[in-house]
């Protein structure tokens, strides 16, 4: 019984969203244009469950960098209308279009001359007749078996709010790095804002030996810096190669005389993968995955070593 009801609810709500597709026309384009040209904020308002949907739409707009706020209409008629000013756009949500608290704030909005976009289920309502743009979010039926609890109607309003936000995102040319600026604490922010320079080992923490350094001292440098490798640099700090744990294992497997006395240049990898310090940390991850390595040497334009970045550093920072 519960399983059948659950499926039926999802079918009704899915049908409500699909019905919106055929209704999108020039009114939708105009709504997006009004929000795009807005010099102030998009103020979203609605009562009850519509208000909850409105809060989510306002939050979505803010997350893509569109100044927005939620106005509770009941509080609006008792002083909070001060948050609406000329240059704003108001987005109202009401299934009936007759919500008393919303109707009461209409005169104030008219005096301010702010455009009013409404997501409405009743196109003959007072709110519809007083809106600059009306978007039809009516549904054939609610998913509630009593036809009382707002279900399909709020789902439709939420979906259309997302459609407005994403169309606005595209029109404004918002890029992933722009989005990341509004989410600096999230994984996206870490991936798109952190650079190699933020995470790399530098100065004395960089494992380094000279081309002539004996293998026994190379082993010590690798062990002491704990990065599983060392750079091999000349007197000008230019990168000549790297010696990794893997290089050492391969040399030991081959054996030979005076192994520990050999110079680093005799066993080093001569064309190591490098990256610049201004590159995004996410680029470092991409290189490591592409070449199946765990360390990148950070060099400047002249090939001089500036740092070393390890996969563990990227993991700790939450970039991976």
pLDDT at 273: 94
pLDDT at 52: 96
Read off the tokens for 44: 């979203």
- Global pTM? 0.65
pLDDT at 281: 87
CB 121 within 8 Å of CB 19? no
pLDDT at 185: 54
pLDDT at 56: 96
Domain chopping of the chain, boundaries: 2-174, 193-316
Quickly list DSSP for 119-178.
Answer: EES-TTSHHHHT-SEEEE---S--SSTTS-S--HHHHHHHHHHHHHHHHHHHHTT--HHH
pLDDT at 136: 97
C-alpha span between 76 and 70 (Å, rounded): 10
pLDDT at 251: 81
- CATH code that applies to domain 193-316: 3.10.580.10
Which residues sit opposite 274 in a β-bridge? Answer: 297
Read off the tokens for 283: 């680029």
The CATH fold assigned to 2-174 is: Rossmann fold (3.40.50)
pLDDT at 249: 87
C-alpha span between 25 and 196 (Å, rounded): 46
pLDDT at 106: 93
Q: List the pLDDT tens digit at each of the 320 positions of the chain.
A: 899 999 999 999 999 999 999 999 999 999 999 999 999 999 999 999 999 999 999 999 988 889 999 999 988 877 788 889 999 999 999 999 999 999 999 999 999 999 999 999 999 999 999 999 999 999 999 999 888 889 999 999 999 999 999 999 999 887 766 655 555 555 555 566 788 999 999 999 999 999 999 999 999 999 999 999 999 999 999 999 999 998 888 888 877 667 788 899 999 999 999 999 999 888 899 999 999 999 999 999 899 999 999 999 888 887 76
pLDDT at 257: 66
Q: Going edge to edge, which strands form the sheet with 133-136?
A: 68-71, 42-46, 89-94, 116-120, 133-136
Which ranges of the chain would DSSP assign to H, the alpha helix?
Answer: 2-21, 26-36, 48-63, 73-76, 100-112, 126-129, 152-171, 176-181, 187-193, 196-199, 215-225, 245-254, 281-291, 311-316
């Amino acid at each position: 019984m519960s399983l059948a009801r659950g499926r039926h609810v999802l079918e009704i709500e899915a049908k409500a969203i699909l019905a919106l597709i055929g209704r999108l026309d020039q009114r939708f384009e105009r709504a997006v244009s009004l929000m795009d040209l807005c010099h102030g904020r998009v103020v979203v308002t609605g009562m009850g469950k519509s208000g909850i949907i409105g809060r989510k739409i306002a939050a979505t707009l803010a997350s893509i960098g569109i100044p927005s706020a939620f106005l509770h209409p009941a509080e609006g008629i008792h002083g909070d209308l001060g948050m609406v000013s000329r240059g704003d756009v108001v987005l109202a949500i009401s299934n009936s279009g007759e919500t008393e608290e919303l109707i009461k704030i209409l005169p104030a909005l008219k005096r301010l001359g702010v455009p009013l976009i409404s997501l409405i289920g009743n196109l003959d309502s007072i709110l519809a007749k007083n809106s600059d743009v009306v978007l039809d979010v009516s549904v054939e039926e609610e998913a509630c078996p009593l036809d009382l609890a707002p279900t399909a109607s709020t789902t439709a309003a939420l979906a259309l709010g997302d459609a407005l936000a994403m169309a606005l995102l595209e029109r404004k040319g918002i890029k992933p790095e722009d989005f990341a600026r509004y989410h600096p604490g999230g994984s996206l922010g870490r991936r798109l804002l952190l650079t190699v320079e933020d995470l790399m080992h530098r100065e004395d923490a960089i494992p380094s030996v000279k081309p002539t350094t004996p293998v026994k001292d190379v082993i010590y440098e690798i062990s002491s810096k704990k990065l599983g490798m060392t750079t091999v640099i000349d007197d000008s700090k230019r990168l000549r190669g790297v010696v990794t744990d893997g290089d050492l294992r391969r040399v030991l497997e081959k054996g030979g005389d005076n192994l520990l006395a050999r110079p680093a240049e005799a066993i080093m990898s001569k064309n190591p993968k490098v990256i610049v310090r201004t590159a995004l940390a996410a680029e470092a991850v991409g290189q490591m995955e592409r070449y199946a390595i765990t360390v990148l040497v950070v060099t400047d334009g002249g090939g001089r070593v500036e740092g070393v970045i390890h996969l563990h550093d990227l993991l700790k920072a939450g970039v991976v």
